[in-house]
């Protein structure tokens, strides 16, 4: 038995999944949550226990203890640990074995992903402390988007900024790549043109051609693109200048507003799509406006990516909202018949009953609901890098 542990470290959480490879069998999954807070907890396979977890090191120690208790011989069978790292910048375009040099380069990218790369590195260091001698692999969220052409990823600003690394990077790449592969396999066409919609509290859309990312909605950072739970998505930069120059906001205020106080929470009073949908059903004007704006932004990107791809074989919805909201899928697909995108309303209500395929009969474009599995994707990449 060859075991690979997958870690996804956030600022106050440490998610994990343990796989037997290459069988891709999920053995255990869990989460250490509210790290550093008064009431932390550890959840293993759905069973949650309150405990004290002051830092990620203690979280890693508890996870190791729990897995060892449930799986005798775990430490001897564990052969690798795969880590999700959000930003790889220009340096990391493929899965990479972690060394001191790699850790230093991840640290140098902190300014590009201040909310994500620091805890990602903390998770790596905690794993190294408690699993000495086990191979550690970093899988980067930005790597999938490295195939986006210069005509798409470059900004129309002075060249010296581009040389300094200011360009579009894109995010959610692990998810988009996984979902794109799933859709490609269903279509039986390796040259398929696919639009992947990762719709969660953070949201992005990607145009995929023959398995490669060709355009994506997030940019230098994760703020632009679609309307999200607390992020504004696309906004005229002149608004930022106006707020700073004429409304006495400093740049930190604007950064906070656009990242944490905008999007659905600004429009509808909640960043939880379930709350927004309930208010939408009641006809609450704020929620109706929010849903219409949310869907409209998605449709604008679908239209743009349809044009860039020169056609479309499949539209794939994924992540928390994309997988679980029939209303969002309906509104986002509405009025796109001229592009061959036609939803079957009955199938949309219960996609699982139709293997996640929900387009109308004889529709030109397939519409899929595909659960994302970033952890499995990381496990596959880790195994391939080390053993194939």
Q: Is residue 86 part of a domain?
A: yes
Predicted local confidence at residue 100, as pLDDT:
92
Identify the band that residue 299 occupies on the pLDDT scale cut at 50, 70 and 90: very high
| pLDDT of residue 222 exceeding 80 | yes
Please state the length of the chain: 388
Q: Which of 90, 100, 111, 141 is catalytic?
A: 141
Averaged pLDDT, 273-292? 96
Q: Are residues 121 and 196 in the same domain?
A: no
Residue 8 inside a domain? The answer is: yes
Is the domain of 215 the same as that of 360?
Answer: yes
Q: Tokens 């508890």 label which residue?
A: 62
pLDDT value of residue 91: 85
Average pLDDT on 301-323 reads 97
CA 129/CA 100 separation, integer angstroms: 13
Give whole-number Cα distances, 301 to 106, 181, 307, 331, 348, in Å: 31, 21, 10, 14, 21
CB 203 within 8 A of CB 226: yes
122 within domain boundaries: yes
Ramachandran angles phi, psi of 251, nearest 5°: -65, -30
Q: pLDDT per residue over 65-114, tens digit each?
A: 889 989 988 888 899 999 999 888 888 989 999 999 999 999 988 887 77
| Residue at which a domain ends, from 140, 173, 198 | 140
Asked if residue 323 has pLDDT above 80, the reply is yes
The domain tally of the chain equals 2
Q: 216 and 119 share a domain?
A: no
Amino acid 375: pLDDT:
94
pLDDT at 265 over 90: yes
Residue pair 205/175 in contact (Cβ under 8 Å)? The answer is no
Paired with 195 in beta bridges are 207, 315
Are 220 and 71 members of one domain? no
* Model confidence at 115: pLDDT above 80: no
Does residue 195 sit in the same domain as residue 310? yes
Active site residue 279: no
The answer as to whether 374 is a domain residue is no
Which pLDDT tens digit goes with each residue over 16-71? Answer: 999 999 999 999 999 898 888 888 899 898 888 888 898 888 988 899 988 998 99
- Per residue in 244-259, pLDDT tens? 999 999 999 999 999 9
97, part of any domain: yes
Nearest 10 degrees: Cα torsion 304, 294, 143, 98:
180
pLDDT (0 to 100) of residue 204: 96
Of 140, 173, 207, the one marking the end of a domain is 140
In this predicted structure, the answer to whether residue 233 has a pLDDT above a threshold of 90 is: yes
Token pair belonging to 196: 């992947």
Task: Please check whether residues 15 and 136 belong to one and the same domain.
Answer: yes
The pLDDT tens digits for 120-179 are 998 899 899 889 889 999 999 999 999 999 999 999 999 999 999 999 999 999 999 999
Q: For position 119, what pLDDT does the model report? A: 86
The distance of Cα 351 from the centroid of its chain, to the nearest Å, equals 22
213 and 331, same domain (yes or no): yes
37 falls within a domain? yes
The DSSP call for residue 360 is P
CATH number at residue 344: 3.30.420.40
Q: CA–CA separation, 235 vs 241, rounded Å? A: 12
- β-bridge mates for residue 208, sequence order: 194, 213
Q: What's the pLDDT at 258?
A: 95
First to last CA, the chain: 16
Same domain, 330 and 213: yes
Pseudo-torsion of CA 169, 174, 177, 181, nearest 10°? 180
- Nearest CA among 12, 103, 26, 19 for reference residue 58: 12
Residues in contact with 94: Cβ distance below 8 Å, sequence separation at least 6, in sequence order: 143
| pLDDT recorded at residue 38 | 82
On whether residue 179 sits in a domain, the answer given is no
Select the more confidently predicted residue: 216 or 77.
216
Q: Looking at the structure, tell me whether residues 55 and 192 fall in a common domain.
A: no
Check residue 168 and give its pLDDT.
Answer: 96
Please tell me whether residues 200 and 286 are part of one structural domain: yes
User: In which region does residue 334 sit, left (phi positive, over 0), alpha (psi from -120 to 50) or beta (all else)?
Assistant: beta
Element (H, E) at 186: helix 173-187
> What is the H or E stretch that residue 41 is in?
strand 40-44
Task: State the number of CA atoms in the 13 A half-sphere of 223 facing the CB.
Answer: 20
pLDDT at 256: 93
Are residue 323 and residue 239 in the same domain, yes or no?
yes
Which residue range(s) make up the domain with 134? 2-140
Domain-located, residue 299: yes
Given a cut of 80, whether residue 352 has pLDDT beyond it is yes
Tokens of 101: 């040099």
Nearest to 219 by CA among 200, 206, 238: 206
Residue 12's pLDDT is: 81
| pLDDT score at 269 | 95
Query: Average of pLDDT values for 342-361?
Result: 96
Same domain, 119 and 30: yes
Average pLDDT, the chain: 93
What is the pLDDT, as a whole number, of residue 191? 95
pLDDT tens for 173-205 read 999 999 999 999 999 999 999 999 999 999 999
């Amino acid at each position: 038995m060859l075991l690979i542990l997958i870690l996804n470290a956030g600022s106050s959480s440490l998610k994990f999944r343990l796989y037997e490879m290459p069988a891709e069998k999920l053995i255990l999954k869990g989460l250490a949550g509210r790290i550093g807070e008064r009431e932390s907890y550890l959840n293993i396979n759905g069973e949650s226990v309150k405990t004290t977890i002051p830092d990620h090191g203690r979280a890693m120690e508890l996870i190791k203890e729990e897995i060892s208790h449930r799986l005798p011989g775990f430490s001897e069978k564990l052969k690798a640990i795969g880590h999700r790292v959000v930003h790889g910048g220009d340096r990391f375009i493929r899965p990479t074995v972690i060394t001191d040099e790699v850790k230093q380069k991840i640290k140098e990218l902190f300014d590009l992903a201040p909310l994500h790369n620091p805890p990602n590195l903390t998770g790596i260091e905690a794993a190294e402390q408690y699993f000495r001698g086990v191979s550690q692999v970093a899988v980067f969220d930005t790597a999938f988007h490295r195939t986006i052409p210069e005509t798409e990823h470059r900004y129309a600003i002075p060249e010296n900024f581009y040389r300094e690394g200011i360009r579009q990077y894109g995010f959610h790449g692990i998810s988009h790549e996984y979902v794109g592969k799933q859709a490609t396999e269903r279509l039986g066409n390796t040259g398929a043109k696919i639009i992947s919609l990762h719709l969660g509290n953070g949201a992005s859309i990607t145009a995929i051609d023959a398995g490669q990312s060709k355009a994506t909605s997030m940019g230098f950072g994760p703020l632009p693109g679609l309307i999200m739970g607390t992020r504004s998505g696309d906004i005229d930069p002149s608004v930022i200048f106006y707020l700073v120059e004429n409304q006495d906001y400093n740049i930190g205020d604007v950064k906070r507003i656009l990242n944490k106080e905008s999007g659905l929470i600004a429009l509808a009073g909640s960043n939880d799509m379930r709350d927004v949908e309930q208010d939408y059903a009641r006809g609450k004007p704020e929620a109706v406006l929010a849903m219409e704006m949310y869907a409209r932004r998605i449709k604008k990107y679908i239209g743009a990516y349809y044009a860039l791809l020169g056609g479309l074989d499949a539209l794939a919805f994924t992540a928390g909202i994309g997988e679980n909201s029939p209303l969002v899928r309906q509104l986002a697909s509405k009025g796109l018949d001229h592009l061959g995108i036609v939803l079957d309303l009955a199938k949309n209500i219960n996609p699982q009953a139709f293997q996640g395929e929900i387009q109308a009969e004889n529709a030109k474009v397939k519409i899929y609901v595909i659960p994302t599995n970033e952890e499995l994707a990381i496990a596959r990449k880790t195994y391939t890098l080390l053993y194939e």
